[in-house]
Amino acid sequence: MAEKLTRKEKIALQKKSPGFSPKEIQKKEKSKQSLRFVLGLLVALIGFLLYSNTLNHGYVLDDNGLIPENTSTKKGISAIPEIFKTSYRYGMNTSDFQLYRPLSKAMFAVEWELAPDTPALSHWINVLLYALLCYMLFRTLSRYLNGDLLISFLTALLFAAHPIHTEVVANIKSRDEIVCLLLCLTSAFSFHSYVTKDSTRAFLIAILCFFAALFTKESAIPFIAVIPLMYYFFTQAVKKKYITTIVSMVVCTIVFLLIRRAVLGHTETTTPMEDNSLVAIKDFLSQKANAIYILGVYLKLLVFPSPLIADGSYNHFPVIGLGSWKFLVPFIILLGALVIAFMQFKKKDIISFCILYFFATASLISNVFILIGTNYGERLMFIPSLGVCLLFAVLLSRVLKSETSSQALTDFNSFFSRYKKPVLTVFVIVILFGVKTMARNAEWKEDDILYATDVKKAGDSAHLLFYVANNITSDDHLAELPDSAARMIARNEGIDYLTRALTILPKYADAYQRRGFIYNQIKDIKKAEADYREGLIHNPTHPILYNNYGTLCFEAQRYDEAKFYFQQAIKYNPQYAHALNNLASVFGVFGMGEAGQIQADPANASVHTKMSQENFANAIEYFKRSIQADREFAEPYRLLAITYRNTGQIPEAEKYERLYKEVMQKANAKN
């Protein structure tokens, strides 16, 4: 719907268009607004169509830990208060709880409530949000660029089609990037109204959107610098507007950080080198040189987006020295870009803004200033890529833009007629990008396809080798194989991948954990135990390692050791449902043992009776904690029913037998 012009706006337009009546001016403005809507809609449509082949994809990569395997997310809407009071990874089998991104996780919980275990719904939402983001990008740029529809349109098209965005849109988990940028652009859009129209309502909307963006991802923080830069380059904002905007955004950020600290506490975990290879580089200058080298890889992908990989951690990017061209080339390019930005700053050249925007938004994720949880991830370039798209659009418009036509821009035909060369050029790029984007989307369909594809491109990444092994030896994958011989082949292949990963990174605890688990499955107990022990040396806070080692001990009837390892697993992840169930089982065994001693040792019958009751009570407590941690985990219901029967509590036993059947029926219905 076209906005009505205020009296001041009508007067301003009449001054710009002498000889035209107010009605003619307003009609002309409505035509421009209609054209803006059409161009924005076209960009959104292209964004949607390019990712339409992801709508029926499954859960892939990080989706699994955050959605279908996350005990918190699977509670649905009822988990939202819990989600805002816990870490991002709460509900996963991990001891790393240092991220706080509740907004996107709350969205996943709502979607699970509406359609449990239905990734198609989440993919639809991702693609629709991306289309909306592309539309909002065009509208925001056209506002700040004083109605320059060409640059706004070209930028939005390039952004919509860029293949480096496939990880963000095709991977449900990365919705945090989409929503964060969408909220930041909406905030910028509203701030423009605050600056140009002194709208208090727009100011409040802008602040609210920015505050919400912080709860989606920390990538919103650099917009404290980006928004004032937009004021400087594209508006006539007075000093008061700068101060009010910056102070309000800083206050929002401080409040967010205080909430984050209150939720996560004061403890910090060390980033493992398998996640961020830069951690292993102790020399400061060398570490930063390697960070700039990887930033140069990103720049290359923004220009020529191939090859695209889901993981580039240790040791896909070998350590390079200060004299390497892999450092020197991106360093010179980045330094030169900064020099240009500062030289053109006073002239308010949009090229300067593009460069400064890139540096500002890349500052938190580049590892140049602070080390983050990963050394490489194409999703990290989602927000910074906008600066490169805008820069290319500006340069292209300056080279190919035609100013000879006096035809008014009233519809797409007139727009295309005036700007045929730059528009056609970008459409060719969009087609090329689009082919690459849709091909890469297909590789994100399921874990099997993604890992099989990417291990060929990044077979030197220990993390990726672990992912492949974990996937081909998962219960779901093994269940699809025709016979035990095929399952044995898969397990041996998994062991080979994990051995390759450990050759690359001998201190990789996850790889030891998984290889030990497979060895235990094939009854090679000696090798399994050796891997578990080695893994705990390198990561003594690994809950899965402790649980798996405890399982080995339990199966070997080494119950005291099993109890210790299960307790350690729970210590590092108090919501670990399987470890809670396993510890309860140990107490159940102890209870049965003491009960058996009542007849065998009548002289101490009272002591054995007391010990039996205490152990059964502990078993009941931990079975209930396991159920509370994961309501869809069936085993504790069954074992709790048995425990109640063993203690003569028949009504409770019947209750949990009934609940066990209900949980199993739901599980079977899903399968």
- Do 566 and 583 form a contact (C-beta atoms < 8 A)? yes
Query: What pLDDT does residue 417 have?
Result: 86
Which structure tokens are listed for 469? 């092994």
- Do 310 and 464 form a contact (C-beta atoms < 8 A)? yes
Plot region of 544 (φ>0 → left; ψ -120 to 50 → alpha; else → beta): alpha
DSSP, res 603: G
Query: What pLDDT does residue 7 have?
Result: 56
Q: Which residue has the tokens 């080198």?
A: 273
Query: What pLDDT does residue 1 have?
Result: 40
Query: What pLDDT does residue 38 have?
Result: 93
Query: What pLDDT does residue 2 have?
Result: 45
Query: What pLDDT does residue 404 have?
Result: 41
pLDDT means per 10 residues in the chain (671 residues)?
52 55 66 89 97 96 92 93 92 79 95 94 98 98 93 97 97 96 98 94 97 96 98 95 97 96 79 90 95 97 96 93 96 97 96 98 94 93 97 94 57 87 95 97 96 94 94 92 94 96 95 96 96 96 95 96 97 93 96 88 87 94 94 93 92 94 86 64
Give first-to-last CA distance, the chain, whole Å: 47
Kindly give the residue spans of alpha helices, DSSP state H, lying in 51-75. 63-66
Query: What pLDDT does residue 89 have?
Result: 87
Tell me the C-alpha distance between 425 and 263, whole Å.
50
Tell me the C-alpha distance between 626 and 210, whole Å.
38
List Cβ neighbours of 572 (8 Å cut-off, separation of 6 or more): 95, 541, 542, 543, 546
Which structure tokens are listed for 458? 């990044």
List Cβ neighbours of 206 (8 Å cut-off, separation of 6 or more): 186, 187, 188, 189, 190, 191, 194, 245
Query: What pLDDT does residue 193 have?
Result: 95
Query: What pLDDT does residue 301 have?
Result: 97
Closest by CA to 508, choosing from 373, 370, 315, is: 315
Query: What pLDDT does residue 600 have?
Result: 85
Query: What pLDDT does residue 401 have?
Result: 72
Q: Which residue has the tokens 């830990």?
A: 65
